[in-house]
Amino acid sequence: MCCESKRRFLLLYATQKGQAKAIAEEIWQQAGAHGLEADMHCISEMDKYNLETEKDPVVIVISTTGTGEPPDTARKFVKKIQDKTLPPDHFAHLQYGLLGLGDSEYMFFCNGGRTVDRRLQELGAQHFYDTGLADDCVGLELVVDPWIDGLWLALKEALQLQKEGMNNAVDAVSSSLSTAPHAVHELNLISEVQNLKLEDEAARGSDVLSQKLDDINLVAPARDTEPSLIHSVPPVSQSALNIPALPPEYIEVQFQDTQGENPHLSSLISEGTTFEVPVTKAVQLTREDAIKTALLLELDIADTAFEYQPGDAFCVICPNNVSEVEELLHILGLSEKGDDFVCVSVKQGTKKKGASRPQHIPERSTLKFILTWCLEIRAIPKKAFLRALVECTSNVGEKRRLQELCSRQGASDYTRFIRDSNVCLLDLLHAFPSCKPSLSLLIEHLPKLQTRFYSVSSSNLYQPGSLCFVFNVVEFPAGPSRPVSRKGVCTGWLAELVAPLLHPSENTLDTKGERFSTEKISIFPRPNNAFHLPADPSVPFIMVGPGTGISPFIGFLQHRQKLREQHTDWEFGETWLFFGCRHQDRDYLFKQVHYLTSILCFLENGTLTHLKVCFSRDTSTAEAARPKYVQDVLRLCAKEVARVLLKERGYFYVCGDKKHMADDVSDAIVDILSMEMEADRLEAMKILAMLREAKRYLQDVWS
């Protein structure tokens, strides 16, 4: 019993969208095979663990959200450990390993994990294993897989040391891991040990395959020399494969003969109250020949308790595409059963430890409801899912290719043909037609369908009772791995939903000839957004929002206009807007919107003091050297930008595309600060960091 408890470790996860949880579950599952027992909890369940008295090693998997914040589920925990009165040896007894998840396209990569890691160190806790920082931008698995591989040896050593009562030996392990080159070597070594172990264990059910090329019937003709989703080339096609162990099945689905109602959408959301609100207006902000279609929707929130401030974002609960759901039902052989109620439960006698029904799946609902509202059917299949699909595939060539794609040897094929190609389950089922998964397998492996965030584009003062937002309809063209083009899950659905408002027929005109809609969507607020107007209206501010990034700034300007009307004796600071788009006459959003104030009106009535616009594709214009992008225009206004930020302690807001714009804008600001202060770039970067810290340089960016 005592020995058992010595092999225990505490596993905490802090998740926003479920990835950290899924990885923790993977660790939990693998722990058993290594003779260890993971005591797993969400980090928010603070009544179920106690770090103050924890003696066993602790493993923390934590993601990052927003602008470098820990996930909502970790807020309380972070607040607790950040208590300044805690002594520096508060966690001196604690040994831990931390895996941070993030996306390097965002500023403050993995900051959620880094924050917790830094603070635990400050409080005397010690690493028994090097911190891993996994990057969703290049593929989490590149760090996650080797990190988990190495974890077992490190855990066993930590537990061994603990068992031998060598309290001070933790320092030794920790310091041997803390020098970077050493640590990398150690990790590689551990991976190799793990590999060998896997091969040794082949006879005991671990899946190491030694199939020769001529044993199998490849999907594509042998003359193909280029690999593809369905076709491999040497060395992968000739390798013995290390593939993950088959995850145990744990879900059971039973069809029921009864009738009833599907659960309310609000039951799918744990983040707070949801509101079902009518879409009252839809306006296309771009011309038909624009590269992207931007739509503005107005929602009627008058009869609800929904509250927002300009600059807030909110969440839209969206369904999967109807025809994709139908197609999936067809492939599953369940077309006739879509409206039947199913009862989802945990399979009796499953080998999965602590198995429970995924929280996003109702216990009882129709099959269509699950596929439409609960599962992200467009998710990029994880390797464990591919591994499970192997077992449902009858064609031997298809089977081998699926095995390759989830194997170590096929890791780069997985990245190239699945991850980077954004392949989804339906794409796979088309490419591997003999693969016939069960419904329960889909429920086990497809993640929760996420709600989508949108920035509010209106002010509650200016348009009481309504909420506007703006979005581009996301389009994915057909490609080698995908036979058909697709639209974004949420934006494609919204565009279809409001089509009658955009292209009215007799049915959508009321008696006065006005367009009306009966469509409703479900939304809920997104808490804790710092992206708000300065509390003091006399403080100047600069807004940088190319494309749909202009959206929250329309709310800011509406709000400011109303405040100016209501408080003629107040002092108002300067307002600057930097906007950019491709073509002046195709996608200049809010230049003229017939029923709303356009930015030109804001400029005319003095709400907006300075408007700077640029057009990146209007090359025919006379001035060839005209600035193309917002960062170019910012540089042209360097003196004023520096004055607002440094002398007048103004605010700087950036909104829109994180991939191509936000970093270029912050680079421009560093240049401007360094030029205007006659300081070197390092000094300018420190000033920018200080502005961010003081929440005077604020970003609301998305991909």
Residue nearer to ligand FAD on the CB measure, 166 or 484? 484
What is the 8-class DSSP label of residue 607?
A: S
703 binds ligand FAD (CB under 6 A): yes
Cα–Cα separations (whole angstroms), residue 284 to 197, 198, 454, 462 = 59, 57, 17, 21
Interface with ligand FAD includes 111 (CB under 6 A)?
no
Candidates 434-442, 488-496, 564-572, 628-636: pick the segment binding ligand FAD (CB under 6 A).
488-496
Q: Using the minimum distance from each CB to ligand FAD, give the nearer residue, 150 or 547.
A: 547
Helix (H/G/I), strand (E/B), else coil: 292: coil
The answer to whether residue 335 forms part of the interface with ligand FAD (CB under 6 A) is: no
Runs of H (alpha helix) within 165-298? 169-178, 180-200
Structure tokens at 369: 């409801």
381 near ligand FAD (CB under 6 A): no
Using the contact rule CB under 6 A, the part of the chain among 80-88, 206-214, 338-346, 450-458 near ligand FAD is: 450-458
Classify burial at 421, counting beta carbons within 10 Å of its beta carbon; exposed 0-12, middle 13-18, buried 19 or more: middle
Among residues 462, 471, 602, 697, the one that binds ligand FAD under rule CB under 6 A: 471
Residues 580, 630: Cα–Cα separation, whole Å: 6
Count of residues touching ligand FAD (by CB under 6 A): 24
Minimum Å gap between C-beta 458 and ligand FAD is 12
Our finding on whether 144 is near ligand FAD (CB under 6 A) is no
Which pair of structure tokens corresponds to residue 56?
């066993």
Q: Residue 663 CB, nearest distance to ligand FAD (Å)?
A: 17
Query: Cβ closer to ligand FAD: 95 or 491?
Result: 491
DSSP category for residue 418: I
Q: Is 454 in the site for ligand FAD (CB under 6 A)?
A: yes
Which has the closest alpha carbon to 552: 622, 477, 430, 458?
Answer: 458
Q: Is the peptide bond before 235 cis (omega within 30 degrees of 0)?
A: yes
Query: Of 208, 474, 601, 613, which one interacts with ligand FAD (CB under 6 A)?
Result: 474
Binding to ligand FAD, residues 63-92 (CB under 6 A): none
Q: Is 527 exposed, middle or buried (0-12, 13-18, 19+ CB in 10 A)?
A: exposed
Looking at 49, 108, 453, 572, which residue binds ligand FAD (CB under 6 A)? 453
Asked if 447 is part of the footprint of ligand FAD (rule: CB under 6 A), the reply reads no
Measured from the CB atom, is 19 or 674 closer to ligand FAD? 19
Position 476 contacts ligand FAD (CB under 6 A): yes
CA dihedral (222, 227, 232, 236) positive or negative: positive
When asked if residue 486 is in the footprint of ligand FAD (CB under 6 A), the reply is: yes
How far is it, in rounded angstroms, from Cα 310 to Cα 603? 19
Name which of 233 and 269 has its Cβ closer to ligand FAD: 269
> Which of 17, 119 has the CB closer to ligand FAD?
17
Is 378 a binding residue for ligand FAD by CB under 6 A? The answer is yes
| Shortest reach from residue 471's CB to ligand FAD, in Å | 3
Task: Round to whole Å and give the CA distance between 141 and 135.
Answer: 8
For residue 10, what is the enclosing H or E element? strand 8-14
Q: Which two tokens stand for residue 505?
A: 């027929």
Do you find a cis peptide bond into 540, omega within 30 degrees of 0? Answer: no
User: Residue 555 CB, nearest distance to ligand FAD (Å)?
Assistant: 10
Q: Which of 94, 277, 490, 589 binds ligand FAD (CB under 6 A)?
A: 490
CB 51 within 8 A of CB 60: no
Q: Does 522 bind ligand FAD (CB under 6 A)?
A: no
Indicate the DSSP class of residue 74: G
Residue 146 half-sphere exposure, CB side, CA atoms within 13 Å? 19
Structure tokens that stand for 250 in this block: 């744990």
| Nearer of residues 607 and 699 to ligand FAD, judged by Cβ | 699
Site string for ligand FAD, 29-68 (x = CB under 6 A): ----------------------------------------
- Encoded one letter per residue, x for contact with ligand FAD by CB under 6 A and - for no contact, window 290-319 reads -----------------------x------
What phi-psi label fits residue 206: left (phi over 0), alpha (psi between -120 and 50 degrees) or beta? beta
Show the CA angle centred on residue 387, arms to residues 386 and 393, nearest 5°.
Answer: 80
**Closest-CB residue for ligand FAD?**
488
Nearer to ligand FAD by Cβ, of 422 and 466: the residue is 422
The residue ranges that bind ligand FAD (CB under 6 A) are: 313, 378, 422, 452-455, 469-472, 474, 476, 486, 488-492, 548, 551, 700, 702-703
